[in-house]
Copies of this chain bind each other. A is one copy, B any other.
Amino acid sequence: MTEPAGSRGDTVDTRAVVDLLGVLAYAELTAFDRLAEDARLAPTLAGRAALARMAAAEIDHHTRLTARLVELGADPTTAMTPFVAALDAFHGSTRPRTWLEGLVKAYVGDGLAADFYREIAGFLPDPDRALILDVLADTGHADFAVREVRAAIAAHRTVAGRLALWGRRLVGEAITQSQAVIAERDELAQLIMEGTGDLAGIGRLIDRITDAHTERMRALGLNP
């Protein structure tokens, strides 16, 4: 924790940092899993390899996050365990049935999650803030997904309606599961409360996340 004295970073509870690193480490492990699974739905060998490469980038992020947990004296498995049920429930209830659903989930779902984690990371001191922002940086997935989904919509206009519904379902499930996680992790909830300042601050945070989501749906050519 090398933040200058006096900033709010100094007062962050290490348990909240461990929680955030833990949920992210498990999120990256499931992201690997899911991208690897979706790779099998790819219509071409090149698409399959592209998704496999993105999966590989996620596991590299996972490794960096667990290394930081160890540095903080936390056991990675213990740090990840509280979040396994909620993240597995999210992925279990939003299993893509097609290549395009997988791409929309990767772009829209991961985008939403990344925005949320980035907001929380903003309340942390470095090096944790920098590490989290770095592992959340896009790994080329966004451009790839946008290109493929737009091309599919251009070829078959009807897929747009179905994919838009799918995008809305992803958001609903993501909100349900994040609320479940925050309700169970006091330190994390407190970090968000203190970081945003008050209810109006939380409202603005949700507005920013919602706007970015709308933007991503539009980029795919889908009604938000």
Contacts and interface: CB of A to CB of B under 8 A. Distances in A.
Contact of A33 (B26, B39, B53, B59): B39
Nearest to A39: B33
A111 to B, nearest CB: 22
B59 A55 contact: yes
Contacts of A199: none
Contact of A29 (B29, B52, B77, B80): B52
Contacts of A46: 76-77
Contacts of A76: 45-46
A108 to B, nearest CB: 22
B49 A40 contact: no
Contact of A59 (B40, B53, B66): B53
Nearest to A32: B52
Interface of A: 26, 29, 32-33, 36-37, 39-40, 44-46, 48-49, 52-53, 55-56, 59-60, 62-63, 66, 76-77, 80-81, 84
B60 A56 contact: yes
A36 B40 CA distance: 11
A52 B60 CA distance: 9
A29 B53 contact: no
Given A44-B77, A55-B55, A62 B49 contact: yes
A81 B63 CA distance: 33
A45 B29 contact: yes
Nearest to A52: B59
A36 to B, nearest CB: 3
5 contacts: A32-B55, A45-B77, A46-B76, A49-B62, A55-B55
Nearest to A66: B49
Contacts of A62: 49, 52
Contacts of A29: 45, 48-49, 52
